Amino acid sequence: MKKIFYLLLSIIFTFNAEAVEKNIEILSATLSPAPEKGSSLLSLRIKNNSKEADQLIYVRSPSPDIKGIEFHAHLEEDGVMRMQKIRDINIPAGANLFLGSGTEHIMLYLNNPLYVGDKVKVSLTFKNDGSITLMVPVVGNDQ
C-alpha cells in the first residue's frame, strides 16, 4: 500500500513538473575564450514570453574550472567605462534581451584557461521561472 502511495505521489509530481510552462527561452549562450586563466564573458540572448518581468538571480557551474561567477553592469564615470558588481539582472516582460559586452553581463572567474571548442555546464536560475541548465560553448570573437 505504501509503495502504491509513493508511486502515485511521484506521478503527481511528474505531471505537475510538466504542466508548469516555461516562460524564459535562452536563444543563444556563448563564452569568450580565455587562453590565460582569468575571466570569461558569458553572453546570453534571453526571451521572456511572460507578461511579467523576471529576474536572473543565480548563475552557477559545477565545473572545477570555474572559481566564481558575478553579474556586472557597465557604468560611465568621468568618461571612463567601469564594471560594477550587481545582485541580479532584470528581464522585462516580453523582452528579447542581449546580455554581453557593453551591457549588463555575466562574468566567470577561472581556475584554468578556456579554449575555443570547450564547453562549460552552466545553470541559470530565474526568480519566477526556475532553473535552466545549458552546455555553453566557448567561441572565438569572430564567430
Name the residue nearer to Cu ion (CB basis): 107 or 129. Answer: 107
Least CB distance to Cu ion at residue 108 (A) = 10
- Give the range of 15-23, 77-85, 94-102, 114-122 binding Cu ion by CB under 5 A: 77-85
The bridge status of strand 66-77 relative to strand 105-110 is antiparallel
Name the residue nearer to Cu ion (CB basis): 79 or 102. Answer: 102
Residues 86-125 that bind Cu ion (CB under 5 A): 107
* Angle at the Cα of 108 from the Cα atoms of 104 and 109, rounded to 5 degrees: 130
Q: Rounded to whole angstroms, what are the CA distances from 26 to 37, 76, 99, 112, 142? A: 27, 28, 11, 26, 21
Least CB distance to Cu ion at residue 34 (A) = 13
Residue 75 makes contact with Cu ion by CB under 5 A: no
Residue nearest to Cu ion (CB): 72
Q: Show Cβ contacts of residue 103 under 8 Å, excluding neighbours closer than 6 positions.
A: 74
d(CA 29, CA 106): 11
Name the residue nearer to Cu ion (CB basis): 91 or 107. Answer: 107
Residue 72 makes contact with Cu ion by CB under 5 A: yes
How many residues bind Cu ion (CB under 5 A)? The answer is 3
Cβ atoms within 10 A of the Cβ of 130, count? Answer: 14
- Give the range of 30-38, 78-86, 95-103, 113-121 binding Cu ion by CB under 5 A: 78-86
d(CA 98, CA 108): 17
Least CB distance to Cu ion at residue 72 (A) = 3
* Angle at the Cα of 137 from the Cα atoms of 37 and 41, rounded to 5 degrees: 50
Q: What is the contact surface with Cu ion in residues (CB under 5 A)?
A: 72, 83, 107
